[in-house]
Structure 1
Amino acid sequence: MSEAEVQEKKLNEDTELRIVVNEGEAIVELVDGRAEIFGSELVKNKKYLFQKGSRIAIFTYEGATVDVVGSGVHSYTSDETPMVIYLNTHAALEQIRKVAECDPSHRGPRIMLVGPTDVGKSTVCRILCNYSVRMGRSPILVDLDVGQGEISVPGTMGAIFINKMADIMEGFDCSRPLVFNFGATTPSENLPLYDLLVKELAEVINQRCAVNRDSNIGGIIINTCGWVHGDGYQCLVSAAEAFEVESVVVIDHERLYNDLKRDLPSFVKILHQPKSGGTETRSKEMRAAMRSERIHRYFYGTASSRLNPYTFEVNFSDVLLAKIGAEQLPESCLPFGAKIDDHNTKVVGVKPSSSLIHCLLAISPSTSISQNVLKETVLGFVVVNQVNDEAQTLTILSPQQELPSKVLIVTSIKFVDDRTIE
């Protein structure tokens, strides 16, 4: 990149430089003042590389000068930003933490971010987590958005225990996540299972807070799905109850704000906040591409932090394949007096077949196919690249050299492994 491509951007206090990398890559460097990206502070004179498709916002409370290098970069400065509102939200959470720090009978804040898709919920969660870490806190970030899978892969919900700021380019350290497999990208695929897993995750988090003082003080910051109507709304209400939240931030949806004020207990504080002007609506195709990219990143890493997955064969006889959800039996087929089980949460075995090609499989720690598979956190994920009926083998793409367990849960998520990191 030549010197002619360098754009010097001078930012006044409380302003934001919004950057979209349309082509190629962009290099960003803070040359004067102080600035941050989604709550993570930029190091002066350090070059940050962003790939095609990146959307970032550089904010400064005091004023700053930033150099941007890249030919396919669109950028503009805005002084209409909700960052001060997010800072005030953080300050309110910090007051709750101080009370919990002085009195062990109290707990830290529990806040849930809600709103439709593409309003910046996950970004606000990242900002609030980063701000709390900058105060020496260790919050728990919970992600209930199975559509994108910020903590693991799409089709999962989970949590990470945060004790350091998110890396500017890589995000939070997700090397030791707590992950439950849902197996689809929208709660509507299996509402009973989604509700069960939310409650299970909340129970695990509550147990963690009960025995770990830092986690209890740091509190819980919860990201949610963008499905806010009908059954999706009920999922939000159920999640608020399961995690015993006392604050809900509604981003850019007045009706949702009013509905939650009506339906949640009076002690829950409901806040209505604007979305950032830098957020953009993503098409279905773009969201699908982002899910594929997220899975690719799980196996191969990124350009700055590469991973080398393994491809190997396993015999049909060496694995136990299961899926969650069975056909519903009519009452006429049941013995007299028998109770109908919830077929949505029934764990059943499946036989290897060509339908598994490109399927994402969750690795269960279970040693056999049973209902225990439902409530256990998963060990990781693999993808079936090939099925050889004649040789009775599966060709597996895996982060590990061998499978840590023989029980594999089939999901509805597909990933075509046809790329490598450029």
Structure 2
Amino acid sequence: MTEEKVATNEFKLDPDSELRFEVENKNEKVTLELKSGLAEVFGTELVKGKKYEFSIGAKVAVYTFQGCTLELAGKTDVSYVAKETPMYQYINCHAAMENMREEAEKNDKRGPITMVVGPCDVGKSTLCRILLNYAARMGRRPIFVDLDVGQGHIAIPGTVGAISVERIADVVEGFTNKKAKASGIVINTCGWVKASGYKLLTHAAQAFEVDVILVLDQERLYNELVRDMPDFVKVVLLPKSGGVVERSQQQRNESRDQRVREYFYGNRTPLYPHSFEVKWCDAKIYKIGAPILPASCMPVGMKAEDNLTKLVAVSPGPSLLHHLLTNVDVDRQTITVLSPQPRPLPNTVLLLSDIQFMDSH
């Protein structure tokens, strides 16, 4: 048998243009190589001559300021060169944030707190990644806050999280808190921007005391925030990239499951999670929110409580399966949990989310 030859395509990009490609087939792997010039992927510079491998689910945009030659090896579902990109506007946002960081550093104050908002599938997470990478390339250490519970870019879906984005520590200086203080925060949000979703956005803006809100691709949301935010909050409307792909509900579910698998089992580097039993009496399980009582059930003159944020105790049982519990033994009154660390649980209080995951390993 002769080995099948992998298709190779060469792309020559003019300055301020972008190579966009997608990989949707799980059996396909695509290799990207920078042959000449300078290029970056979402703010991360490519190393010339290094081969970068992408597989199922990859949606990549390779941007160049000065022009470059790229080589793609393997079968992509979509690949094309885009002449128009919003990257200069994104760069201007970064430059404005950097000016704010310099001012904060000079006066020993906190850096800019920036929140990225917009409907589903407009590139919020990508813009966050670009801004964070540019900040790190400037030697900053911004904090990334992820409030997108639907996808989860730091931990698993159903959770919020925060991480410090930093370079390797300096051999002499180590890590300096002052630099982290001036670097500021970049906040990613979910695509729920109407009704209660809008209230959550404005609540997050108030809670984090944001300085800047970047609105992607929705003038209505932009105008609502201009109306409702204090004068000191700068609200900026930005276009989405033409390479942003709208995902179906099935694709979102698959992406969510993949994020959970990667969290426990790793991606390129395999991880080995732990599975162990916990007695019902050793753990307390809660969920947030309870059904709203109808007014007819309340005494005359009394109003029903706001149960949306109420902490409600949950009794262990078979209904808890697939909430990262691999088994519920009613007779022995134990649950088997999937954990990234060995026993015991770091906390005996467990908070239940609506995200479910069936462990296929």
Considering the TM-score relative to the shorter chain, is it more than 0.5? yes
Q: Name the counterpart of 2:326.
A: 385
- Which of 116, 120, 123 does residue 113 from structure 1 map onto? 116
- Deviations 1:131-158 (Å, cap 9, x if unpaired)? 0111111111111211111111111222
Q: Name the counterpart of 2:354.
A: 412
Q: Name the counterpart of 2:106.
A: 102
Q: Name the counterpart of 1:239.
A: 204
C-alpha displacement of 1:400: 1.4
Partner Cα distance (1:215, 1:160) in 2: 12
C-alpha displacement of 1:9: 1.4
| Residue 65 in structure 1 maps to residue 30 in structure 2 | no
Q: Name the counterpart of 2:171.
A: none
Q: 1:392 to 1:84 in 2, by over 3 A?
A: same
Q: Do 1:7 and 1:69's aligned partners in 2 also have CA atoms closer than 8 Å?
A: yes
| Residue 322 in structure 1 maps to residue 286 in structure 2 | yes
Partner Cα distance (1:256, 1:317) in 2: 47
- Deviations 1:383-418 (Å, cap 9, x if unpaired)? 111112123222222211212232222222110011
Partner Cα distance (2:241, 2:313) in 1: 46
Q: 3-state SS of the aligned residue for 1:276?
A: coil
Partner Cα distance (1:12, 1:236) in 2: 39
Indicate the RMSD between aligned Cα atoms, in angstroms: 2.4
- For normalisation by structure 1, the TM-score amounts to 0.77
Q: Name the counterpart of 2:214.
A: 249
% identity of equivalent residues: 49
Query: Which moved further from structure 2: 323-332 or 60-69?
Result: 323-332
Partner amino acid, structure 2, of 1:92: A
Partner amino acid, structure 1, of 2:228: D
Partner Cα distance (1:111, 1:405) in 2: 32
C-alpha displacement of 1:299: 0.7
| Residue 305 in structure 1 maps to residue 269 in structure 2 | yes
Q: Do 2:148 and 2:190's aligned partners in 1 also have CA atoms closer than 8 Å?
A: yes
Query: Which moved further from structure 2: 225-234 or 89-98?
Result: 225-234
Q: Name the counterpart of 1:155.
A: 158
Q: Do 1:22 and 1:74's aligned partners in 2 also have CA atoms closer than 8 Å?
A: no
Partner amino acid, structure 1, of 2:337: I
Q: Name the counterpart of 2:22.
A: 20
Q: 1:348 to 1:248 in 2, by over 3 A?
A: closer
Query: Which moved further from structure 2: 120-129 or 2-11?
Result: 2-11
Structure 1 residues without counterparts, runs of 5 or longer: 166-210, 360-382
C-alpha displacement of 1:42: 0.9
Partner Cα distance (2:250, 2:53) in 1: 26
Q: 1:253 to 1:48 in 2, by over 3 A?
A: same
Q: Do 1:38 and 1:57's aligned partners in 2 also have CA atoms closer than 8 Å?
A: yes
| Residue 87 in structure 1 maps to residue 91 in structure 2 | yes
Q: 1:34 to 1:391 in 2, by over 3 A?
A: same
Q: Do 2:321 and 2:328's aligned partners in 1 also have CA atoms closer than 8 Å?
A: yes
Partner amino acid, structure 2, of 1:16: E
Structure 2 residues without counterparts, runs of 5 or longer: 169-175
Residue pairs, 1:174-185, within 5 angstroms: none
C-alpha displacement of 1:215: 2.6
| Count of equivalent residues | 349
C-alpha displacement of 1:164: 3.1
Q: 3-state SS of the aligned residue for 1:412?
A: coil
Residue pairs, 1:35-74, within 5 angstroms: 35-74=39-78
- Deviations 1:211-235 (Å, cap 9, x if unpaired)? 9422321011111121122222222
C-alpha displacement of 1:311: 2.1
Partner amino acid, structure 2, of 1:319: A
Residue pairs, 1:163-242, within 5 angstroms: 163-164=166-167, 212-242=177-207
